[in-house]
Structure 1
Amino acid sequence: MTMINKTIRAKIKDYAESRDCKYRITATGEVHLYGKMPNSIETGWWLFAHNIPEAMERICA
């Protein structure tokens, strides 16, 4: 794993933890979070971003 990948994963992890969520990155690059879903009272896995660049855009926005 390159240093860039470690840095990106660390940023995604920090973001997930700040929302009190767990995260996973699938083999296809989708980023999912587990926690309270947006606009809901339910807890579960939800799609945060379709790919890592999109996830970084959402985190840095």
Structure 2
Amino acid sequence: MQAAGRIKVGSVAYGVIGRRSAEPVLVQPNMVLAGVADVAADWRVTRVVKGRTR
């Protein structure tokens, strides 16, 4: 599915709860993780933005 027809989802923070709510978005064909906002942009945020969650 093209990005234009997909639901855009953003995550505020990427700790335990943020990660558990953002990871399912990555596997849904009709959703795209549009962005992650966190005060500490460490390796976890970088990996999810690039599409690798683990």
Larger RCO (CA under 8 A, 6+ residues apart): 2
TM-score relative to the length of structure 2: 0.31
